[in-house]
Amino acid sequence: MKKYQFPKTYIHTIPIFPLGMINAFLLVNTNGCILIDTGLPNTENKINRVLKKLNLDFNDIKLIVITHAHIDHAGNASKIKSLSAAPIIAHKADLPYFTGEKKMFFCATGWFGRLFSLTGAIQRPYEAFKPDILLKSSEKFGLNDFGFDGEVISTPGHTEGSISVIVENTQAVVGDLISSGILLGGIIRTNRAKRPPFEENPLKVSQELKTISDQGVSTFFMGHGGPLPQVEVLRHIEKLKTVANK
Ligand SMILES: [Zn+2]
Ligand SMILES: [Zn+2]
CATH of the structural domain 10-245, one choice from 2.60.40.10, 3.60.15.10, 3.40.50.1220, 3.30.9.10? 3.60.15.10
Report residues of the chain scoring pLDDT below 70.
1-3, 183-184, 186-187, 246
Across the chain, where does the E strand assignment appear? 10-17, 22-29, 32-36, 61-65, 88-91, 133-135, 140-142, 150-154, 163-167, 171-173, 179-180, 193-194, 219-221, 228-229
The two most distant CA atoms of the chain are separated, in Å, by 59
User: Per-domain residue ranges for the chain?
Assistant: 10-245
Ligand 1 mean position, distance from CA 30 (Å)? 31
Ligand 1 mean position, distance from CA 200 (Å)? 10
pTM of the model: 0.94
Sign, Cα dihedral of 101, 24, 218, 182: negative
Q: What is the pLDDT of residue 154?
A: 98
- 103 closest CA partner among 80, 154, 77, 69: 69
Please calculate the CA angle 25-82-85 and round it to the nearest 5 degrees. 75
Q: What is the pLDDT of residue 44?
A: 98
* Residue 240 CA from chain centroid, whole number: 19
Distances (CA, A) of 164 to 13, 140, 246: 15, 10, 27
Q: What is the pLDDT of residue 3?
A: 64
- 176 closest CA partner among 152, 151, 194, 190: 194
* Residue 189 CA from chain centroid, whole number: 20
In angstroms, the CA 212 to CA 166 distance is 8
In angstroms, the CA 91 to CA 155 distance is 10
Ligand 2 mean position, distance from CA 207 (Å)? 19
Nearest ligand to the CA of 23 is 2
Q: Name the CA dihedral angle for 13, 129, 57, 27, rounded to a multiple of 10 degrees.
A: 40
Ligand 2 mean position, distance from CA 56 (Å)? 26
Amino acid, single-letter form, for residue 171: Q
Ligand 1 mean position, distance from CA 1 (Å)? 43
Distances (CA, A) of 99 to 66, 71, 72, 74, 92: 13, 12, 16, 11, 11
Ligand 1 mean position, distance from CA 148 (Å)? 26
Ligand 2 mean position, distance from CA 214 (Å)? 24
Ion ligand 1: residues, CB within 5 A, are 70, 176
Instruction: Give me Rg for the CA atoms of the chain.
Output: 17
